[in-house]
Amino acid sequence: MNAKFWNQHTETMPRAKLDALHLHRLQALCHYAYERSAFYRRKFDDAKLKPADIRTLEDFKRKLPLTDKSEFIDQQLSNPPYGPTLALPEDLVVHHCETSGTTGKPLGIPYSMYDTLRYGESWVYGMWALGIRPSDSFYFAFGWGNFAGFWSTYWAARRLGCKVISGGGLDTKGHINAIMRLKPTVLISTPTFALRMAAVAAEMGIDMSKSSIRFTYHAGEPGPTALPAMREQIEKAWGAKAGELLGIAEIDAFAPGCPEGDGVHVNEMNVFTWSMDAESGNEVAEGEIGENIITSYVNSAQPLLNYRSHDLVRRRASCACGRTWTKLEGAVLGRTDFMVTVRGTNVYQTAVENLIGEMPEVSNSYELVLTREEDNDAMTVKFEPKKSVPADMWWEISKRLSDKIHQGLHVRLRCEAVAPDTLPRYELKTKRIIDQRPKEFRRALDR
């Protein structure tokens, strides 16, 4: 129970052995996808490629065509529910989930029993490193629906052998009362909803830092490992250790938080990843920012090979925590479709969010509004001052935030204060980016 790693052998495997294992698995996966999925058979054939042609990791990255979420959505719309991407008989699909569908076109995700077991264990690596053990009890603060992320967290709790308490159907005050009554030790929620619950509890006269919760664990949006200020806020509000996992619903819960608290590690037992320049398609070197390209070993029902995540990441090969799995510094730094160039400077979502988090007068509710001005992308930061801040101070705070962003990112963004409780609240994914650019300037589907 005191072991540092959930699986020390795999989490500390030397790079040469990891790469050899990846090649073996990728070759097997190519044969599997080609033989079982009409979608991938056509992909291979159109590229004049056979599975046997993949002899090295470079062959896989350079020769196999990229795939994109939009392709899978199109296939499903034309031949529901899953189209020719399915690689198993449909009667072996035991669970159906969907992506959030913010564009109006959700992606259906089929899972076999094998997929649910592998997907659930993905969470356990990070939970174990944080200190969560089988004796803990999980409180799920959200409505279940078809959202894949927290269903897979439920599979993780089952894998660990922990008690599960569902808060489905309750409002924010109901969640707080249930936690105080049932005394769980682990809170599962999006990070912004954890802060929202703590704020509402304070209004009710309840201090959640004195509750039974000892750990909070999050996914769905940038959280404790991407935003240090948010981690500090959550840990102070709940009196608990905050952890995070980076996942993509249709891929896997593929990157547990680093115990050092400054990024995530790619779970190389479940996925193979590499990074490319989104414009040229060329692989980028370690330490450079590139789009994360992912292949999952978890999805036997709907394979995903060389899948474009549209997430911008910076990869590192080593880490002081002892894991040899690839590290993504700061988790996701931005999106290929949400990176804007303002007066010649690349501006990433998480960079702006980290600076906002350093302003003690600013609440956790804000939006980054993208527009086009004079043939260039522009970003406006709309934020809510904390309720304790008088209105006659808002202009000064806006100016200081703009100066802080200018100093940190070398570009000046418009900052606009709005009244507290004006911006929307979310129980699941918080929508930070409000893209008001003309359609032709939006480059990819929001996952």
Distance CA 178, CA 304 (A): 39
| Mean pLDDT over each residue of the chain, to the nearest integer | 90
Kindly provide the b/e burial profile for residues 183-214, where b requires at least 16 CB atoms within 10 angstroms of the residue's own CB: ebbbbbbbbbbbbbbbbbbeeeebebeebbbb
Closest CA to 121 of 164, 154, 145, 87: 154
Distance CA 144, CA 138 (A): 14
Q: What is the pLDDT of residue 337?
A: 63
pLDDT-wise least confident of 39-48, 379-388, 430-439: 430-439
**Main-chain dihedrals φ then ψ at residue 123, nearest 5 degrees:** -65, -30
Q: Which CATH number fits domain 340-441: 3.30.930.10, 3.40.50.300, 3.30.300.30, 3.40.50.720?
A: 3.30.300.30
Closest CA to 274 of 293, 257, 288: 293
Q: What is the pLDDT of residue 198?
A: 95
Distance CA 149, CA 330 (A): 20
Whether the bond between 303 and the residue before it is cis, its omega within 30 degrees of 0, is no
Checking DSSP bridges between strand 362-373 and strand 163-166, what pairing results, if any?
unpaired
pLDDT band at 177 (very low <50, low <70, confident <90, very high): very high
Distance CA 146, CA 130 (A): 27
Q: What is the pLDDT of residue 102?
A: 47
Q: What is the pLDDT of residue 223?
A: 80
Checking if the pLDDT of 319 tops 50, the result is: yes
Region 250-256 average pLDDT: 94
User: pTM of the entire structure?
Assistant: 0.80
Q: Which two tokens stand for residue 160?
A: 């660990």
Region 356-371 average pLDDT: 89
Checking if the pLDDT of 290 tops 80, the result is: yes
The segment with the largest mean pLDDT, out of 339-343, 367-371, 414-418, is: 414-418
Kindly report, residue by residue over 39-50, the tens digit of the pLDDT: 999 999 999 999
CATH of the domain spanning 1-250: 3.40.50.12780
Region 106-131 average pLDDT: 95
Determine what percent of the chain is predicted with pLDDT higher than 90.
Answer: 70
Region 368-372 average pLDDT: 87
pLDDT band at 446 (very low <50, low <70, confident <90, very high): very low
Closest CA to 323 of 269, 243, 392, 253: 269
pLDDT-wise least confident of 94-98, 108-112, 341-345, 410-414: 341-345
**Main-chain dihedrals φ then ψ at residue 200, nearest 5 degrees:** -65, -40
Checking if the pLDDT of 445 tops 60, the result is: no
Region 359-384 average pLDDT: 86
Determine what percent of the chain is predicted with pLDDT higher than 70.
Answer: 94
**Amino acid letter at 62?**
R
Distance CA 110, CA 316 (A): 32
Q: What is the pLDDT of residue 101?
A: 53
Checking if the pLDDT of 379 tops 60, the result is: yes
pLDDT band at 444 (very low <50, low <70, confident <90, very high): very low
* CA-to-CA dists, residue 328 to 131, 229, 288, 303, 310, angstroms: 21, 18, 11, 23, 14
Domain boundaries, the chain: 1-250, 340-441
Distance CA 192, CA 366 (A): 11
- SS3 string of the chain? CCCCCCCHHHHCCCHHHHHHHHHHHHHHHHHHHHHHCHHHHHHHHHCCCCHHHCCCHHHHHHHCCCECHHHHHHHHHHCCCCHHHCCCCHHHCCEEEECCCCCCCCCEEEECHHHHHHHHHHHHHHHHHHCCCCCCEEEECCCCCCEHHHHHHHHHHHHHCCEEEECCCCCHHHHHHHHHHHCCCEEEECHHHHHHHHHHHHHCCCCHHHCCCCEEEECCCCCCCCCHHHHHHHHHHHCCEEEEEEEECCCEEEEEECCCCCEEECCCCCEEEEEECCCCCCECCCCCEEEEEEEECCCCCCCCCCEEEEEEEEEECCCCCCCCCCEEECCCCEECCCCEEECCEEECHHHHHHHHHCCCCEEEEEEEEEEEECCEEEEEEEEEECCCCCHHHHHHHHHHHHHHHHHHHCCCCEEEECCCCCCCCCCCCCCCEEECCCHHHCCCCCC
Contact 319/327 with Cβ under 8 angstroms? yes
Closest CA to 244 of 232, 255, 233: 255
Q: Which two tokens stand for residue 401?
A: 């935030």
Distance CA 5, CA 211 (A): 28
pLDDT-wise least confident of 22-26, 102-106, 177-181, 294-298: 102-106
Q: Which residue has the higher pLDDT, 106 or 87?
A: 87
Closest CA to 141 of 95, 101, 172, 119: 172
pLDDT-wise least confident of 25-39, 223-237, 420-434: 420-434
